[in-house]
Structure 1
């Protein structure tokens, strides 16, 4: 049994686990023998997380971004988790506001609506008006949530250490997953980080070649009144995307009417292109674009809200994912296998033939299908599941990438059922590859390449001269690594050792027999018996060693 800072919290968790019948975790929590890990059914796991409270709901939300760890049935069930909780009374929120503000509350705001417009496990949001008349959204941290989070983080870390002792836990790095979750949760308690993410996304979306930046809005941060526990953002006057309604009269554009269907198509294309830029150009993307975080404003613009969960992609990952996109479109199983291995974190040996066969079997379902009929996010989830089945560990940002694509494509299909992500991406692929090949500044890229070629041309003669010199003076050494050579060397060493022991045993037996035949004194008889005993012991050890090696082999 493990120790925690809160025995009552430990008791609550054990009661929830026992009540829902998760036998494997019950054995872990009570210090019993842990067999091969067995997850409860998806619905039961979701129920356990909900009963354990908001921190564990967020853990479930994180797990929903890891299709490389969990089957699709778990991903779908955990994706429905919402940390919707009753709001904290206004009196407690007002106390937090007065503690965080450097000025009296009445001097900063002319009015604050005491009724929360949204409430979550970490914070709740109120509408307010600044002294200069601008409407803002106040995201205020729930009182005492930091203490609750710290207690649950300790419990999660300990359970992760228990699971990490099993082969299953080491294969999927549960300890690393727990550390990733706790770091993300601790970052979420610091609203200045979310504010900086919001500012960065706002800057990135202010420039684009693929869409009109004036039609996409990211709230402005009011840094003068933002603290670790208080985030003040520009108020977005609108409704969630799926609640938006359109009429011909409302969609006039420079005197030209736009039909509701066409307006929906324009909005969806705007969102898809904005996220394609975030993913494949900027490398910094909104990782939770569900319909509640996308608002349609009264002035016809689209707003992206809640930048608490963001993902990052380095240039190498962006290039691999772009090629993966093309490989999926071309139904190229071999290329998918190669790109998956390039993405992999762990360098363990993988059966490439099996991986290619699995991808071929998976992609064969989409042969002879029209591109508009293919759900890209579903295909990419299947790609990650094939990697999981082949014990390939991928970076955690691949889960956030998949989640962002799935949420975006899901919201787009509900908002405009005729739209398809791959159809929208296809016209941009040429420009995307060109930008990855030449960069944003082709002249600068060309000059850099010219410098590299110049350096190569200057260094090559020296390198060739050095190589020839080493060959002629016989100082050249080759470092060659052959797969499984160490295993063969150990096998040869074992065989040589057993042969030596066999010769030694035979010599001892022959020596003992000669001495025994000509023994005329008790000393010689004793020596003969000792040699026989030594030969018997070594022979028995040799037989046992050979039998053990056979068991390992078969």
Structure 2
């Protein structure tokens, strides 16, 4: 299967060498021509090491995979979430050339000063501090030279590997071709900084007003759209430090909790709840490095390269799912999971409900403060995977975003509890789901629907009664699970027909042979030959089917 790969580019040989060196047993057996066992993913540690050895693009792929707990179990998500690209910064002359190429005007006319030493360096880009000609301090995010060529080559290779792996059972279960295409699009979006600029501006606009928190206390950096291109992103400079590095003293009255810490965690959590349940557009990677505590006491959200979107129907289902988890309602959780799933049907509904019952039973006698919402949501996705229910990718992003946010919040404020923060907002959430921001149009639409229903119902009921009394009522039934029975009955009927045909041919040939007419001798032999062939074919087919008994 992989012989074509080993004979092409050196990059492909590098991948095979890395796989062999890191000890992925299944792939080793496959690549070396041995007899492979049941297809299996490498262990979380092995997969992480493989991606690190393959380089920055694959580290980014691992980071993208870590946002999909709907695909991978929690141990894989934990292992991939720690991936960081250890990439040395590009020399300033090369970075300067990229900036000069992307910005039409002379740098001197646009920037008073650019610090040649980067403040951060990643697999895709690095960030420099600068001062515009008007004196404003900005951060310049510059794409690494040549990274787009490398990404395009690796995307083509990933698609080839996914196409090959899709022929295996594990490839079909995970739908690797669609997954590869999805991640390829995400990587290409990261190469276009105008996409990140658009996401940042939309998020900043959405969070500029709120009923749940003070928008003045939350900052999303402004983008300088005039200087932003596909490879250069110029944004507002923010003085601060990552949330978990913030030097906030704990309170003397309550040593384990500081009021400033509680205010920051509550602010950030309510901001993300608004993004998810109200706006339907949310920052999908709120790890501690993207959450900042500014020197003036405000909080900031950075790096909007990865976002998620939720339609109103999904928002409503996820809101009800939260309530079902709080109520420990297994039956309702299973029903809502089916509504989220692409197939909308479980192979074994009783097993699905049983799995949810076992999941929630662990929390029956526990206080809400002891429940880790991110952990519960991960387990919900695990139940869906176990029952072969495929959930949309945005649901995985939603779970990962909440889990990341909860993890950062609990580290920053040890007594912070997600469900305690959600409960005061529940009534407002449900009010928004039912009547929206402006209840009058909703009430008018409902009144019109009721009016139309009341006008149509008598006529429809009369037509139904007419059909019943005239015996012209027809029922269209679609019973699931009968396809196998239909095929079995068809096969049995076909074999019975062949048996009757063979018997008839034999009887006809015997009757013709009894007449002892030379002219009909050839017809008798022909009938015997056809009967013998059909009889032999029928016997072989029965023996091969294994249903002789």
Shift of 1:82: 1.3
Provide TM-score, normalisation by structure 2: 0.92
Q: Please give the residue correspondences for 1:205-220 in structure 2 after superposition, counting only pairs within 5 Å.
A: 205-220=207-222
1:39 pairs with 2:41: yes
- The alignment partner of 1:139 has SS state of strand
Shift of 1:451: 2.2
Shift of 1:477: 4.5
Q: 1:401 to 1:4 in 2, by over 3 A?
A: farther
Shift of 1:470: 6.0
The one of 535, 538, 547 equivalent to 1:542 is 538
Is the contact between residue 509 and residue 535 of structure 1 (CA under 8 Å) also seen in structure 2?
Answer: yes
CA distance in 1, matches of 2:340, 2:366: 27
Q: 1:520 to 1:448 in 2, by over 3 A?
A: closer
1:363 pairs with 2:360: yes
Give 5+ residue unaligned stretches, structure 2.
none
Report which stretch shifted further, 539-548 or 91-100: 539-548
CA distance in 1, matches of 2:457, 2:394: 39
Q: 1:169 to 1:376 in 2, by over 3 A?
A: same
Is the contact between residue 505 and residue 531 of structure 2 (CA under 8 Å) also seen in structure 1?
Answer: yes
Q: Match for residue 67 of structure 1?
A: 69
1:229 pairs with 2:226: no
In the TM superposition, what whole-angstrom CA distance separates every residue of 1:314-340 from its partner, at most 9, and x where no partner exists? 111111111111111111111111111
Report which stretch shifted further, 443-452 or 269-278: 443-452
1:320 pairs with 2:317: yes
Q: Match for residue 164 of structure 1?
A: 166
CA distance in 1, matches of 2:55, 2:8: 15
Shift of 1:187: 0.7
1:502 pairs with 2:502: no
Give 5+ residue unaligned stretches, structure 1.
252-256
Is the contact between residue 4 and residue 155 of structure 1 (CA under 8 Å) also seen in structure 2?
Answer: no
CA distance in 1, matches of 2:401, 2:522: 83
- The alignment partner of 1:366 has SS state of coil
User: For this pair of structures, how many residues does the alignment match?
Assistant: 546
CA distance in 2, matches of 1:195, 1:317: 26
CA distance in 2, matches of 1:28, 1:161: 16
- The alignment partner of 2:113 has SS state of strand
Shift of 1:23: 4.5
- The alignment partner of 1:2 has SS state of helix
Shift of 1:227: 1.0
Q: 1:473 to 1:13 in 2, by over 3 A?
A: same
Shift of 1:67: 2.2
- The alignment partner of 1:419 has SS state of coil
Q: Match for residue 438 of structure 1?
A: 435
Q: Match for residue 188 of structure 1?
A: 190
Q: Match for residue 417 of structure 2?
A: 420
- The alignment partner of 2:4 has SS state of coil
Shift of 1:124: 0.5
CA distance in 1, matches of 2:503, 2:444: 76
Is the contact between residue 319 and residue 436 of structure 1 (CA under 8 Å) also seen in structure 2?
Answer: yes
Q: Please give the residue correspondences for 1:115-134 in structure 2 after superposition, counting only pairs within 5 Å.
A: 115-134=117-136
Shift of 1:467: 4.8
Q: Match for residue 254 of structure 1?
A: none
Shift of 1:59: 1.2
The one of 7, 13, 16 equivalent to 1:14 is 16
Shift of 1:20: 1.7
RMSD: 2.7
Provide TM-score, normalisation by structure 1: 0.92
